[in-house]
């Protein structure tokens, strides 16, 4: 791929990055969201040369031969392959059309799950430094996601955000511009996919790939108890006895029963956060309700499920897949400072 463009170099650029386990989103000040694709990169095994990133690399998952390495550089919300993460991010940033961003004068905000260790945070900062970006800061996904979902987190009114992503579920209570209580558990989209793979293997004797499991979850995944008319889908895979290709029909209620125990764990974590929330903020959350963010909030019936479990009003964010990167726009204006409400 050719990085050299005869374009004007853009200095002092502000870059917001939602480096998710499933999806990478990059916002560049003055350009908008320039990259919104799966966090996947395909490289030549021997040379490490990049073959594909984003959507086209995601198509290769589970379909590659030994000469190609298809990598998701993040695992459960944190960087697990630094080299691949660096290459992916570099190519994503270079996607800004008509602009050649001067990274050596840029400021960059990277969003991370709430409960990452200092080492995991440092890895994110190192990643940006490796790209040549001198000024880097980290913010929690729930904070950026709350802002991106349209909540005024700077006022003295509490709000609760649940982010159901690909690698982690993050729950946070926000007030006066920052997080008051939070929890993060590494049970989210990828975990649901794995549970679907295990279920079909043990109950139908069929081995399916990750992409198929993800499609099944997105197509017929539900948490609704009353399924009047049961929807089905097909699953193609390899019969674990004969080793031959086989197709089966999967019912929505089966997938619901696979998802429910995982959501039970997430709901218990939400209850734990509520139990640790100061009383005044609890009363605000009763009034305002809870906001759902992240791709897995799109699973059918998730809002009603949490309402039933928690007893509070739950609303899905208008754009749950882009809320976090939208929030970086605001946080970049004041470098995340909670004393200052950014002005447009």
Ligand X SMILES: Nc1ncnc2c1ncn2[C@@H]1O[C@H](COP(=O)(O)OP(=O)(O)OP(=O)(O)O)[C@@H](O)[C@H]1O
Q: Name the site residues for Mg ion (rule: CB under 5 A).
A: 20, 165
Under the binding rule (CB under 6 A), the answer on residue 269 touching ligand X is no
Under the binding rule (CB under 6 A), the answer on residue 148 touching ligand X is no
51 binds, among ligand X, Mg ion, none (CB under 5 to 8 A by kind): none
- Nearest approach, Cβ of residue 284 and Mg ion (Å): 25
Instruction: Report the alpha-carbon distance of residue 176 to residue 276 in Å, rounded.
Output: 17
Question: Looking only at residues 302 through 321 of this chain, which bind ligand X when binding is defined by CB under 6 A?
Answer: 321
Residue closer to ligand X by CB (options 29, 163) is 163
Question: Looking only at residues 270 through 299 of this chain, which bind ligand X when binding is defined by CB under 6 A?
Answer: 294-296, 298-299
Instruction: Report the alpha-carbon distance of residue 76 to residue 55 in Å, rounded.
Output: 20
28 binds, among ligand X, Mg ion, none (CB under 5 to 8 A by kind): none
Give the per-residue contact string, 219-238, with ligand X (x = CB under 6 A; - = no).
--x-----------------
Instruction: Report the alpha-carbon distance of residue 108 to residue 73 in Å, rounded.
Output: 19
Under the binding rule (CB under 6 A), the answer on residue 135 touching ligand X is no
Number of CB atoms found within 10 A of residue 245's CB? 10
Give the per-residue contact string, 8-27, with ligand X (x = CB under 6 A; - = no).
------------xxxx----
Residue spans of beta strands (DSSP E) within the chain: 9-10, 14-19, 23-28, 32-38, 41-44, 50-53, 68-71, 74-75, 78-79, 100-101, 107-112, 135-140, 159-164, 169-175, 178-185, 206-207, 232-239, 245-251, 290-293, 314-316
Instruction: Report the alpha-carbon distance of residue 108 to residue 140 in Å, rounded.
Output: 14
Give the per-residue contact string, 186-215, with ligand X (x = CB under 6 A; - = no).
--xx------------------------x-
158 binds, among ligand X, Mg ion, none (CB under 5 to 8 A by kind): none
Partner residues linked to 237 by β-bridges: 246
Phi, psi of 186 (to 5 degrees): -90, 50
- Nearest approach, Cβ of residue 343 and ligand X (Å): 28
Nearest to 309 by CA among 187, 184, 225, 190: 225
Alpha-carbon 82 to chain mean position: 18
- Nearest approach, Cβ of residue 140 and ligand X (Å): 11
221 binds, among Mg ion, ligand X, none (CB under 5 to 8 A by kind): ligand X
Helix (H, G, I), strand (E, B) or coil at 58: helix
- Nearest approach, Cβ of residue 280 and Mg ion (Å): 29
Q: What angle do CA 181, 185, 187 make, to 5 degrees?
A: 145
- Nearest approach, Cβ of residue 38 and ligand X (Å): 8
- Nearest approach, Cβ of residue 187 and ligand X (Å): 10
Alpha-carbon 153 to chain mean position: 21
- Nearest approach, Cβ of residue 167 and ligand X (Å): 4
23 binds, among ligand X, Mg ion, none (CB under 5 to 8 A by kind): ligand X
Residue closer to ligand X by CB (options 175, 322) is 322
Nearest to 50 by CA among 6, 15, 2: 2
Residue closer to ligand X by CB (options 99, 182) is 182
Task: Name residues whose C-beta falls within 8 Å of residue 343's C-beta, 6 or more positions apart in sequence.
Answer: 333
- Nearest approach, Cβ of residue 21 and ligand X (Å): 3
Instruction: Report the alpha-carbon distance of residue 101 to residue 51 in Å, rounded.
Output: 23
The structure tokens listed for 161 are 């955000």
Residue closer to ligand X by CB (options 73, 295) is 295
- Residues binding ligand X (CB under 6 A): 20-23, 77, 141, 165-168, 188-189, 214, 217-218, 221, 294-296, 298-299, 321
């Amino acid at each position: 791929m050719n990085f050299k463009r005869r374009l004007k170099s853009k200095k002092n650029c502000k870059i917001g990055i939602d480096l998710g386990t499933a999806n990478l989103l990059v916002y560049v000040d003055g350009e908008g969201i320039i990259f919104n694709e799966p966090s996947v990169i395909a490289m030549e095994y021997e040379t490490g040369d990049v073959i594909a990133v984003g959507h086209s690399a995601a198509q290769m998952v589970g379909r590659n031969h030994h000469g190609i390495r298809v990598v998701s550089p993040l695992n459960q919300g944190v960087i697990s392959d630094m080299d691949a993460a660096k290459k992916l991010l570099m190519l994503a940033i270079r996607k800004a059309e008509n602009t050649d961003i001067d990274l050596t004068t840029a400021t960059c905000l990277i969003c991370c799950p709430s409960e990452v260790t200092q080492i995991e945070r440092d890895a994110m900062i190192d990643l940006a430094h490796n790209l040549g970006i001198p000024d880097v800061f980290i913010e929690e996904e729930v904070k950026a996601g709350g802002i991106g979902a349209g909540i005024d987190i700077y006022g003295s009114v509490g709000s609760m955000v649940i982010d159901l992503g690909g690698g982690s579920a993050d729950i946070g209570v926000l007030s006066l511009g920052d997080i008051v209580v939070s929890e993060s558990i590494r049970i989210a989209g990828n975990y649901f996919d794995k549970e679907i793979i295990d279920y079909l293997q043990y109950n139908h004797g069929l081995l399916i790939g990750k992409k198929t499991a993800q499609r099944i979850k997105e197509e017929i995944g539900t948490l609704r108890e009353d399924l009047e008319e049961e929807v089905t889908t097909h699953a193609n895979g390899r019969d674990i006895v004969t080793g031959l290709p086989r197709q089966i029909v999967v019912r929505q209620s089966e997938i619901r029963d696979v998802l429910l125990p995982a959501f039970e764990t997430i709901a218990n974590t939400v209850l734990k956060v509520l139990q640790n929330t100061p009383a005044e903020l609890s009363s605000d959350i009763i009034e305002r309700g809870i906001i759902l963010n992240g791709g897995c909030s799109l699973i059918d019936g998730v809002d009603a499920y949490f309402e039933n479990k928690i007893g509070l009003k739950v609303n899905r964010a208008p754009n749950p897949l882009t809320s976090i990167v939208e929030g970086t726009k605001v946080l970049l204006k004041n470098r995340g400072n909670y004393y200052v409400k950014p002005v447009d």
